[in-house]
A and B are shown apart, each in its own frame.
Chain A
Amino acid sequence: MNQTIQGSRLALRDVEKHFGDFCALKQIDLTVEPGELVCFLGPSGCGKTTLLRIIAGLEQQSAGTLQQGETDISHKPPRERDFGIVFQSYALFPNMTVSDNIAYGLRSIGMPRQAIRERVEALLTMVGLTDQTRKYPAQLSGGQQQRVALARALAPSPGLLLLDEPLSALDAQVRQHLRGEIRQLQKQLGVTTIMVTHDQEEALSMADRVVVMNNGVIEQVGTPLEIYQQPASAFVAAFIGAMNFLDGAALDSHRVRVGNHDFSVQTPVAEADRLCLAIRPEDVHLLPVGQGDWDGRVLAMDYLGAFIRTRVQLEGLEPTLLVDVDPRSARQLGLAPGADVCISLPAEALHCFAA
């Protein structure tokens, strides 16, 4: 498909949503740049779908403004906004063929018949369904239905594409494949895209930026790398990837005590009585006995393909520590359940959060 779309900029200012006494969204401030793919990521009930529906105009915000490009769309009905949407259920019209589904939005805007035919053909080529035009949604596989929904949403060349859990109804392999396909298509077209998902892997692998939400507020906005490497809160740290949490206390701005061991940290900490030290399993160093900071014993080992997730019981500490280790190092260390090991926690990999 040679035609690109002029993706639009979207700015949300102080958006709030209340359902009676319940506050579903609090003070949402967010700017999405033209052509960007942004993922709303969070557990169910965090408000991400509500926010998407407010952007679409399907829900009315209780307060705040929305601006798309130069236009204030805060109070425009959905039909006067410029977006395409794909729902989790796809909501394909079951009584229409694939091409009729795709042509639906083009007929609404009164595009000439011939032009519609050409555009539908182009879209079908784009999503790779040229041989399925006369079929009905029920005759397609889940992945094919998903592509039709995408083609239908993109048909009127919207400046904004909204995807509400678009892949969650598909099986793993199709999902993997479609992730790449959607991302490629989106880049190629340059359409600004917002995708709602509860799948962190999906968010991290597809998004330019990820918006992590919890309890109606934005916890962190950042590139996948930032989100993973510099989580802004314990919630983000826990929600994205695996993370060990150890309760401790600050000794001074760069030293933290956990159990009866002291550790250095790189980012200065406030001198609070209690805080929470976090480290990702792959950042923990596993060493032969006597070479590390803290002795422990291997409790269990899970082989997860490229690495082994090891559960280690540290001396004098109740919670166990997860350590990811590559198979070769494991062999060298002679790791086995029951084996004694030693660990060290590198300062640059330690995160501190208020307890």
Chain B
Amino acid sequence: MLESSLKVAPLSPAVQRRRTFRRPGLFTVLLGAGCGVLFLLVLAPLYSLLSKAVENRDGEFVGLANFTHYLQMGGIESAFFNSLWVSALSMVIVVSLAFMAAWAITRTRLPWTGWIRGALVLPILAPSLLPGISLVYLFGNQGILNSWMMGADIYGPIGIVMGSCFWTFPHALMILLTAMENADGRHYEAATALKASGWRTFWTVTVPGARYGLVSAAFVVFTLVITDFGVPKVIGGQFDVLATDIYKQVIGQQHFEMGAVVSILLLLPALLAFAADRIVQRKQSASLSARSAPYKPPHNPGRDWLGAAMLTPTLVFIVAIIGMAIYASLVTFWPYNLNLSFSNYRFDLMDGGGWGAYTNSLLMALGTMVLGTALVFFNAWLMERTPQSKTMAGFFQFFALLPLAVPGLVLGLAYIFFFNHPDNPLNGLYGTLLILILCTVTHFYAVSHLTAVTALKQLDKEFEAVGESLKASRWRVLFTVTLPLCLPAILDVALYLFVNAMTTVSAVVFLYGPHTQLASVAVMSMDEAGDIAPAAAMAVMIMLTCAGAKLLQGALRAWLDRATRAWRRGA
């Protein structure tokens, strides 16, 4: 009926040829804008700092002189080598433990897995200083488990590896749980039918099914550990790693140009890991099966006991660290006056901003959560679910993952150089809560982005095509189908951003202003002043807030699960 009014005169061949090159559509422009935003938030600030690597103090171009100078200072080989092996060792330990934990949670019939999962992600809820305090109280010279060290010293590589394992474990676990929860039950049935032993099934079905998750987890853990200076600084003693070298150069000696040199060197292993991850992940899209039946572990007490045995060490380690931190916040003066009291929780008497800082942190975390989730999800949607050129999507992916390889300290300073520049029209942002929010969103962009992309990839790739055929715009499909289906992932990203914003220190320490002090920074300054118990108390307070957020999120997810059970599970 509409056909007659839509009649179009045939086009001349020349016109036709021209029209095959379509003008960039709205979505290309939008992802271009997304690239632009990330360019402003990641690349431009980084450039403004890292370009100092080829300048001298007065800002003149000196080529690679700083690099030569740094390499000649000596100690670089050991720092580089130390960084590599500590990160690699932490990676192997964390990925193995996280894989065992994920296996026990998804492939056995252990009870209380909800609580176990909650306990296992506790480290992500705690400020990074917390494991530092706890490890010393547990394994230091006065530590209650000092004898376990058999004369070895917690201040050094052992401490770094333990601390790094503690805080990176939840990252690896989250990735592996996602990878293993989507197991196809039919593969297990096939293995059973082929009389494969449990062991053989594990190696031929479970491990290959999780291999992309394993690679991702390895990449994330390696990069997180190699770029972190928090743990090495607190517990590393004089054990040199590249990240503390940045600290020495920038904070100890105010040599920004040398800090930039080390930052660039630090980017190299991270970029290599990034490339390796991308190559492996590229093959993944081909192996995704269209439909699968959820796996339900059969009754097998032996396997359940094995699962429990594999979970227990990790669980005990995490609970011990957290428990020790809570104890540390209550004790009057470790280790000589062990009377317990709640006096350390009177933050109004505390320095470092007290409750005001706590409120600021809360506001900052909420802002990061709302703004970050929206930005991350919208960009991921543009990249995954709208027509985009490969080049553009590739650029975007690079921008989105780059922040993972940048130490917070470097990001914070880069933000000063870029956003505080008098010629930058955005310099009004500097010193506001908004810049803290933007910096934190950037700092934690990569993992949020990966989560959102994974969720979007799991949706039927034809939803938009069906929508088009039904005359529904991509926007309508986004709001009526994609968003409702991705709500669980959106909640995950929101929580991730919230808890990280509550606990982060390394970047924001350069950016908070007189009215935007933060609780996590207060923890650091109290610890610096030797007020370990109040520092632990504030850290516990932050952790409880994050745990509260996690519980709230869990409740929301449970509610969502119930409300959508009918269409999710068909029950």
Contact = CB atoms under 8 A, between A and B. Distances in A.
Interface stretch (A54-62, A118-126, A252-260, A304-312): A54-62
Contacts of B7: 70-71
Contact of A84 (B20, B469, B472, B473): B469
B466 A138 contact: no
A71 B6 contact: yes
Interface stretch (A101-109, A183-191, A229-237): A101-109
Interface in B2-47: 2-4, 6-8, 10-11, 16, 19-20, 22
Contact of A89 (B4, B6, B462): B462
B8 A72 contact: yes
Given A71-B7, A95-B484, A60 B476 contact: no
A94 B465 contact: no
Given A88-B290, A91-B463, A91-B466, A75 B567 contact: no
Interface residues of B, number: 37
A79 interface: yes
A169 interface: yes
Contacts of A137: 567
B570 interface: yes
Given A56-B469, A79-B471, A108-B470, A87 B462 contact: yes
B509 to A, nearest CB: 43
Contacts of A61: 20
Contacts of A63: 20
B305 to A, nearest CB: 34
Interface string B366-393: 0000000000000000000000000000
Contact of B3 (A56, A69, A153): A69
Interface in B481-525: 481, 484-485
Given A65-B16, A138-B570, A139-B566, A85 B290 contact: no
Contact of A71 (B3, B463, B468): B3
Contacts of A89: 290-291, 460, 462
Nearest to B487: A95
B26 to A, nearest CB: 11
B471 A105 contact: yes
A94 B469 contact: no
Contact of A77 (B291, B462, B468): B468
Contacts of A95: 481, 484-485, 564, 567
Contacts of B11: 72
A93 interface: yes
B568 interface: yes
B68 interface: no
Nearest to B3: A69
Contact of A108 (B6, B460, B471): B471
A170 B3 CA distance: 36
Interface size classification for chain A: 35 or more
A85 B471 contact: no
B195 interface: no
A105 B3 contact: no
Nearest to B5: A71
* Binding site secondary structure of chain A: loop
Contacts of B562: none
A79 B291 CA distance: 28
B3 A78 contact: no
A129 to B, nearest CB: 16
Contacts of B569: 138
Contacts of B339: none
Interface in B56-85: none
B480 interface: yes
Interface string A43-83: 00000000000001110111101000111101101111011
A70 B564 CA distance: 46
A87 B10 CA distance: 31
B310 to A, nearest CB: 33
A93 to B, nearest CB: 5
B570 A136 contact: yes
A75 B11 CA distance: 11
Interface string A306-339: 0000000000000000000000000000000000
Contacts of B481: 93, 95-96
Contacts of A65: 16
Contacts of A104: 467, 470, 472, 480
A156 interface: yes
A152 interface: yes
A278 B349 CA distance: 97
A154 to B, nearest CB: 11
Most chain-A CB neighbours within 10 Å: which of B7, B480, B567, B569? Answer: B567
A88 B465 CA distance: 13
A108 B476 contact: yes
Given A72-B11, A95-B564, A169-B291, A87 B22 contact: no
Nearest to B1: A6
B5 to A, nearest CB: 10
A155 B471 CA distance: 12
Nearest to A158: B469
Most B Cβ at <10 Å: residue of A58, A77, A159: A58
A62 to B, nearest CB: 7
Interface in A19-62: 56-58, 60-62
Nearest to A83: B469
B465 A87 contact: yes
A269 to B, nearest CB: 41
Interface in A111-143: 136-139
Given A95-B481, A95-B485, A108-B470, 15 more contacts: A60-B22, A62-B20, A77-B468, A79-B472, A84-B469, A85-B466, A94-B485, A95-B484, A96-B567, A105-B469, A109-B471, A136-B566, A138-B567, A138-B570, A169-B291
Report, nearest first, the 3 A-B pairs whose CB atoms are least far apart. A105-B470, A138-B570, A136-B567
Interface of A: 8, 56-58, 60-63, 65, 69-72, 74-75, 77-80, 82-85, 87-89, 91, 93-96, 104-105, 108-109, 136-139, 152-153, 155-156, 158-159, 162, 169
16 contacts: A70-B4, A84-B469, A87-B465, A89-B462, A91-B465, A91-B466, A93-B463, A93-B481, A96-B481, A96-B567, A105-B472, A136-B566, A137-B567, A138-B567, A152-B470, A155-B470
